[in-house]
Structure 1
Amino acid sequence: MMKLAIMNTFDFKKHLSEQPIFGYVQQAADALGVEAYVVGGYVRDCLLGRSTQDVDFVCVGSGIELAEKTAALISPNLKVNVYKNFGTAMFHFDGWQVEFVGARKESYRSDSRKPIVEDGTLEDDQKRRDFTINALAVRVNKDHWGELIDPFDGLKDLKSRIIRTPLDPDITFSDDPLRMLRAIRFASQLRFDINAGTFEAIIRNKERIKILSQERITEELNKIILSPEPSYGFKLLFAAGLLEYVLPELVALHGVEVIDGKGHKDNFYHTLKVLDNVAKVSDDLWLRWAALLHDIGKAPTKAFDPQVGWTFHGHEVVGAKMTRQIFRRLCLPNKEPLKKVETLVRLHLRPIALVKETVTDSAIRRLLFDAGEYLEDLMILCRADITSKDKSKVARFLSSFDKVEQKIMEVEERDRIRNFQPIVSGECIMYTFDLPPGRLIGEFKEAIKEAVLDGKIKNDFDQAFDLLLTLAKEKGLTPKKSKEEVKAWWQEQQALKQQEAAKRN
């Protein structure tokens, strides 16, 4: 993986002069007679060569007053969002998100990560920063334009690729345990190491994570999952003992059990390998979540058979159910993202099972129907799931998988099964027989769907309606309308649906 290069020389004076926002802040700060600084992530990212238009300013005074003065210099119509309870203000300007706060010092109670805040100096403000690489500040006043203030050797740590706290890490993490997750998240995003003393303090303070809200934990977890090589972050979470609190179901996959000389692979490290494989080809957060959870059902389904060794029968079904529980606990979105991840976990074995010469078109049609809009993501996940230290074995399996994908494309091109709905709908069945909604309607629809998936009929009105009449006759039902009447009504309904869809678009 390519690592970010640290800028050996960076001319902040020149850089600040090239962006109008810094000039406006300089004018406002000097007019108010306050010290003003660019701080934190923006300074860090400049030194890392990372592009960003999200900038934070700290002043020794009122951040709100500085924001309002800066905005007035830019335009009398520029809206400033003020948050008096936090002493902060922000506005958007020319693609920039600009935030202001007064320098402050903080103290904490043991039962909360919310600080008691007081006005402070720049030194106080830098001391409260989580890591040395985020405690860098650059002066924007005219007399000290572009001057870098680095009291904790943050620049040295950037060059050494180290995450380290400015002050005693035990106090830092005990005061605000979210910083433990942020340390691992920054390490994962930047591919930095965590200083030994800092990491040991995370281990000592891991139980403090219990006071955090689930939303804040999940926010950091998502950022780790989206990092270039997410396995690194999860290995750090595991080594620190934090993963037990964040995602214990993943910890349960760790380890290899051996009975009668037969062992299984370590499903924890296999899962992380699959996650990395997906990360190489997709930035989709929910596809990455599916990779992380695809084998989550293996721990509760693990069993030993003396004849065949270790089995995990039905782990994909159990895993899909666990996915719903995990999403609820982690406060993850419970609609489309959950549906996607749940579907991918449940189906992740299906395409691999098609790597046989005898695979039928019916099996492929059923996969197309069940996967629907998630088919491409499912195929990415399945390719990522092919892991082995034997590279020739992986190559052979991937070659076979290429043939499966080709077969899937051929069947889809011919039959258009993906996302299909039986052309004879429940409303059509009720109209034909003057029936109310009920179980029988569902049985007829299911029988027609199965016939289409089995290739017995096409998803064509005439063929589907003829099958419906046969099924109804077996139940002793007589249609109340002729085929011609029903077809005319059906065509009218289709036209109305098309008109409604056109209006929505």
Structure 2
Amino acid sequence: MGNGNRALSDPLFRRIGAIADRRGVQAYAIGGFVRDYYLMRPCTDIDIVIVGGGTGGGIAVAEELGREVKSKVNVFRNFGTAMLRVGKWEVEFVGARRESYRADSRKPIVEDGTMEDDQRRRDFTINAMAFGLNADNFGRLVDPFEGMEDMEAQLIRTPLDPDTTFSDDPLRMVRAVRFATQLDFRIESETFAAIRRNRERIKIISRERIAAEVEKIMRSPRPSKGWRLFDESGLLELFFPQLSKLKGVDTVRGRAHKDNFIHTLKVLDNIVPHADNLWLRWAALLHDIGKPRTKAWDERVGWTFHGHEVVGSKMIPGIFREQKLPMDERMKYVQKLVFLHLRPIILSEDEVTDSAVRRLLFEAGDDVEDLMTLCEADITSGNDAKVRRYLANFALVRRKMKEIEEKDHIRNFQPPITGEIIMETYGIPPCRTVGIIKEQIKNAILDGEIPNEYDAAYALMEKLAAEEGLTPASR
């Protein structure tokens, strides 16, 4: 894996080292920058630790660098940190510190410390490695906790006793899962056992902090790994009980349903190659969330989950609120896909009628492509012939959608006859009759009984109004 000198080829590092030498302090690049250099991952954030000069030592070096490169320095005196941009780099400075914790808080008591104190307070060994920046140790790797060996073994391990690390700051349990998922590493067995032992401590962590880590898991190449680790560690049932309830299989008279948790994780991984869209990934994770509440045994057909898409879509706002996800159009998008996720599957099982496709286009609108992607990801059968048959049927549904969309322009359509036109024509106020006529015109268009055109819709309005005993208002 080579030494760190190539990592420090940017003149910025020599400049920081020179300022540190002039001020009689030591400077080190530490953490993610060092880790990502060896993993050959892109990284534009640099954390610099300054040893000596007290807790404000980092701020003093940052301010001097800011003057030299003419860049604004943001100082956070309460935390003893300072941050500035230099070219492509976002550089954060901090004084080396020792931390101690009280049991009821994840806010540490901070004191000045040595370099080893600072490395000891890091979450994982792979994040505790540092490069020296002073003239006498420039580019030297400082790795007291064998982070390099853990990188080569692809292990997530804590520098100190893991029970102390996780009890001090329980967010680190979630971060362990996040790094294991992002980097495809393994959590070392003693570290993982400590997560299980300390899992209840997660309750003191704010949901916003957990949500930020979960987002990184959801954006990773195989997000199922993170959810599986959350489950095995016992964290899942504590912060996401609705997902945990998907687990397990019931059997009656020798007939079992599939494990919906395992199925859900397969759907999530299936969608990843087709979707950078974070919210489509969330729709995949939550598409069957209503199944535990709708599970029933039917003597004739076995296990059923009738209406789970309706129940699931109603659960989405509560889940988003609880998980501190955005309560805006993104939530409504996930809710809509959960509600509609069975529609193309039902279509592909039956004969594909024009009117069913029109209704799908009308209800899904611009999200119809994402809905089809979700449905294709939802086919997780081990039976290859069944998968091939479903995918062929979906291809037929897609073809039919294209034909009908070109012919009828149904996607996001508004029926040509509005409530205002009906009220004006017949001189009536807003009432149930207006709604009935509007709905019947909409259905006639979706069912292909009349074209999606003004004249045809107007003629149908006249017919329906006459049946309701309405007469046109005199002009």
- Give TM-score, length-normalised by structure 1: 0.90
Instruction: Tell me if the contact between 1:24 and 1:73 (Cα under 8 Å) persists in the aligned partners.
Output: no
Q: Distance in 1 between matches of 2:59 and 2:419?
A: 61
The structure 2 residue matched to 1:64, chosen from 59, 62, 66, is 59
Structure 1 residues 443 and 79, CA gap change in structure 2 (3 angstroms) = farther
Q: Distance in 2 between matches of 1:161 and 1:65?
A: 37
Q: Match of 2:60, as an amino acid? A: E
Aligned partners of 1:319 and 1:345 also within 8 Å: yes
**2:380 alignment partner in structure 1:** 387
Amino acid at match of 1:461: Y
Aligned residue number for residue 250 of structure 1: 243
**Which residue in 1 is equivalent to 2:39?**
48
Name the residue aligned to 1:180: 173
For 2:423 and 2:86, locate their aligned partners in 1 and report how far apart those are by CA, in whole Å.
Answer: 59
8 Å CA contact retained: 2:195, 2:233: yes
Partner residue in 2 for 1:5: none
The number of residues matched between the two structures is 471
Cα distance in 2, alignment partners of residues 432 and 212 from structure 1: 61
Distance 2:327 2:434 in 1: 30
Q: What is the alpha-carbon distance in structure 2 between the residues aligned to residue 139 and residue 429 of structure 1?
A: 78
How far apart, CA to CA, are the structure 2 residues paired with 1:115 and 1:325? 33
Conserved? CA contact 1:182–1:220, under 8 Å: yes
The equivalent of 1:31 in structure 2 is: 22
Partners of 2:383 and 2:116 in 1: CA distance: 55
Is the 8 Å Cα contact of residues 352 and 397 (structure 2) preserved in structure 1? Answer: no
Q: What residue in structure 2 maps to residue 361 of structure 1?
A: 354
Report the Cα distance in structure 1 between the residues aligned to 2:59 and 2:427, rounded to whole angstroms: 69
Counterpart secondary structure, 1:280: helix
Q: Counterpart of 2:47 in 1: which secondary structure?
A: strand
Return the match for 1:470 from 439, 454, 463: 463
Hey, what does 2:335 align to over in structure 1?
342
Matches of 2:90 and 2:421, distance apart in 1: 54
Query: C-alpha displacement at 1:431, in angstroms?
Result: 4.3
- Counterparts of 1:436 and 1:122, CA distance in 2: 78
Which consecutive unaligned segments of at least 5 residues does structure 1 have? Answer: 1-7, 483-505
| Unpaired segments ≥5 residues, structure 2 | none
- Counterpart code for 2:26: E
Could you tell me how far apart the structure 2 residues matched to 1:405 and 1:175 are?
Answer: 53
Distance 2:85 2:369 in 1: 38
| Structure 2 residue 253 is matched with structure 1 residue 241 | no
Aligned to 1:454: 447
CA spacing shift, 1:41–1:476, aligned 2, 3 Å? same
Conserved? CA contact 1:137–1:149, under 8 Å: yes
1:96 is aligned to: 89
Provide the residue aligned with 2:7 in structure 1: 15
Cα distance in 1 between the residues matched to 2:342 and 2:276: 22
Return the offset for 1:243: 0.4
2:116 is matched with which residue: 104, 123, 138?
123
Give the Cα–Cα distance (whole angstroms) in 2 for the partners of residues 463 and 441 of structure 1: 18
Amino acid at match of 2:45: D
Any idea what SS the aligned residue of 2:5 has? Answer: helix
How far apart in 2 are the matches of 1:101 and 1:403?
Answer: 60
Q: AA paired with 2:68?
A: L
Deviates more, 1:471-480 or 1:167-176: 471-480
SS of aligned partner of 2:12: helix
User: Which residue type is aligned with residue 70 of structure 1?
Assistant: L
| Deviation (angstroms), 1:50 | 0.4
Q: Provide the rounded CA distance (Å) in 2 between the counterparts of 1:26 and 1:432.
A: 82
Are 2:471 and 1:444 aligned? no
Kindly report which structure 2 residues correspond to 1:10-409, keeping only aligned pairs within 5 A, or say none: 11-17=3-9, 19-60=10-51, 61=53, 62-75=57-70, 78-356=71-349, 358-409=351-402
Give the CA deviation at 1:196.
Answer: 0.6
Alpha-carbon deviation of 1:276?
A: 0.6
Q: How far, CA to CA, are the matches of 2:12 and 2:329 in structure 1?
A: 39
Partner SS, residue 354 of structure 1: helix
Indicate the SS of the match to 2:29.
Answer: strand
Tell me how far 1:440 sits from its aligned partner.
Answer: 4.3
Distance 1:446 1:24 in 2: 72
Q: Cα 1:392–1:360, aligned 2, differ >3 Å: closer, same or farther?
A: closer
Distance of 2:60 and 2:474 partners within structure 1: 77
Shift of 1:480: 4.1
Aligned residues with identical type, % of pairs: 58
Cα distance, 1:240 vs. partner?
A: 0.5
Deviations 1:272-314 (A, max 9, x none): 1111101122221111111111111111111111111111111
- String of CA shifts for 1:64-114, please: whole Å, max 9, x gaps: 222111111112xx2221112111111223232221111111111111111
For 2:337 and 2:68, the matched residues in 1 are separated by: 53
Which moves more between the two structures, 410-419 or 440-449? 440-449
Give the residue type in structure 1 aligned to 2:102.
R
Q: Supply the RMSD in Å over aligned alpha carbons.
A: 1.7
1:435–1:121 distance in 2 versus 1, CA, 3 Å: farther
CA separation in 1, counterparts of 2:428 and 2:78?
A: 62
Q: What residue in structure 1 maps to residue 418 of structure 2?
A: 425
Aligned to 1:495: none
Partners of 1:467 and 1:268 in 2: CA distance? 49
| Separation (CA, whole Å) in 1 of partners of 2:150 and 2:108 | 27
Per-residue Cα deviation, 1:318-361 (whole angstroms, up to 9, x for no partner)? 11111221111111111111111111111111101111462211
Q: What SS does structure 1 have at the residue aligned with 2:78?
A: coil
Instruction: Describe the shift of the 1:468–1:94 C-alpha distance in structure 2 as closer, same or farther (beyond 3 A).
Output: farther
CA shift in 2, pair 1:478/1:204, >3 Å: same
Query: TM-score scaled by structure 2?
Result: 0.95
Distance, in Å, in 2 between the alignment partners of 1:444 and 1:88 is: 66
Residue identity in the other structure for 1:12? G
Residues 443 and 55 of structure 1, relative CA distance in 2, 3 Å threshold: farther
Q: Which has the higher mean CA deviation after the structures are superposed, 234-243 or 27-36?
A: 27-36
The code of the aligned residue for 1:14 comes to: R
Residue 438 of structure 1: how far off its partner (Å)? 4.8
